[in-house]
């Protein structure tokens, strides 16, 4: 049986880390603040993957982002997925050379399939994560939004989920814009639009505020991983407590060997 995963996501904007609520951003602190409150060489034992997204509303500074990504990657032994504004192979390559193991793409999925194919060929299927930002419409259906939630994509969520299966990407990151930052739990109804046989792992995001929400997400048979980007709800030992609680409830999560990792770092 494949293990479930717990993912922690960081939202980055011009050197600062942000809280997001329904895609409205609030600055929390810079890299020094993050290092003070989140020691990733320690937190890595409580998560299975780290996601870092450049959500800058202004022109992105790729070099600054890559430098900060390198700093985050030091001592963090779990895989890192990074993205935000990736429009070229070179941009993706910079992220991978800066410590990322995977690249997350959003907008090109809908307007540049050629780039998606090139990324898969160049870096491998397992290296490319497709990201859908999903919002409930007035017709009680779901819409997909791109460009930091400013442009609505034509076509239904169900139709695009069928299409994405043909892109040969490695994973699908499903994020609820309605639940984003609310701490009210995941929008599980989004999952009803998934094809019966989904060939790629599904990561559910948007709305987690406590351990119970994480458990609800992981309980769904089509969900392989849950993600939270809420910096305050899981500050301190919040992630460690949540992971231990999930394991106690019987969820099939990896258990990292702290002793082995300490020996490797000191060797």
Question: How would you write 101-119 as a 3-class SS string?
Answer: CEEEECCHHHHCHHHHHHH
243 near 67, Cβ under 8 Å?
Answer: no
CA angle (109, 146, 95) in 5-degree steps: 65
Burial 53-78 (b: 16+ CB within 10 A, else e): bbbbeeebebeebbebbeebbeebeb
Q: What is the pLDDT of residue 81?
A: 98
Over the chain (267 residues), the average pLDDT of each successive run of 10 is 90 95 95 87 90 93 96 91 97 98 97 95 97 88 93 93 90 97 96 88 96 96 94 82 94 78 48
Distances (CA, A) of 256 to 141, 227, 231, 240, 259: 40, 19, 23, 12, 9
- pLDDT for res 170: 95
Task: Quote the DSSP letter at residue 233.
Answer: T
* Domain around 186: 5-266
Looking at residue 267, its pLDDT comes to 45
Give the up-direction half-sphere exposure of residue 145: CA atoms within 13 A in the CB hemisphere. Answer: 16
CATH number of the domain to which 209 belongs: 3.20.20.70
Task: Report how many domains make up the chain.
Answer: 1
How far is the C-alpha of 184 from the C-alpha of 258, rounded, in Å? 33
Of 13, 54, 68, 133, catalytic? 133
Q: Is 216 helix (H, G, I), strand (E, B) or coil?
A: helix
- Quick check: is 133 catalytic? yes
Neighbouring-strand partners of residue 134: 144, 176
CA-to-CA dists, residue 56 to 26, 65, 216, 267, angstroms: 12, 10, 31, 39
């Amino acid at each position: 049986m494949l293990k479930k995963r717990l993912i922690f996501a960081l939202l980055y904007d011009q050197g600062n880390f942000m809280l997001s609520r329904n895609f409205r951003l609030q600055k929390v602190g810079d890299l020094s603040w993050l290092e003070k409150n989140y020691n990733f060489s320690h937190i890595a034992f409580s998560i299975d993957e780290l996601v870092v997204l450049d959500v800058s509303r202004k022109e992105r500074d790729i070099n600054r982002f890559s430098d900060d990504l390198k700093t985050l990657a030091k001592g963090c032994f779990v895989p890192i997925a990074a993205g935000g504004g990736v429009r070229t192979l070179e941009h993706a390559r910079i992220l991978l050379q800066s410590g990322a193991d995977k690249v997350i793409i959003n907008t090109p999925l809908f307007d540049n399939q050629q780039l998606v194919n090139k990324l898969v060929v160049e870096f491998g299927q397992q290296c490319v994560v497709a990201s859908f930002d999903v919002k409930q419409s007035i017709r009680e259906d779901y819409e997909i939004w791109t460009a930091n939630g400013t442009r609505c994509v034509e076509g239904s969520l169900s139709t695009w989920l069928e299409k994405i299966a043909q892109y040969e990407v490695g994973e699908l990151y499903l994020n609820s814009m309605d639940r984003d930052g609310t701490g009210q739990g995941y929008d599980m109804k989004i999952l009803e639009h998934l094809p019966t046989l989904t060939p790629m792992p599904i990561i559910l995001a948007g709305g987690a505020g406590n351990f119970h929400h994480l458990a609800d997400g992981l309980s769904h048979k089509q969900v392989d991983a849950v993600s939270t980007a809420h910096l305050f709800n899981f500050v301190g030992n919040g992630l460690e407590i949540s992971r231990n609680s999930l394991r106690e409830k019987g969820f099939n999560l990896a258990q990292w060997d702290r002793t082995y990792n300490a020996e490797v770092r000191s060797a």
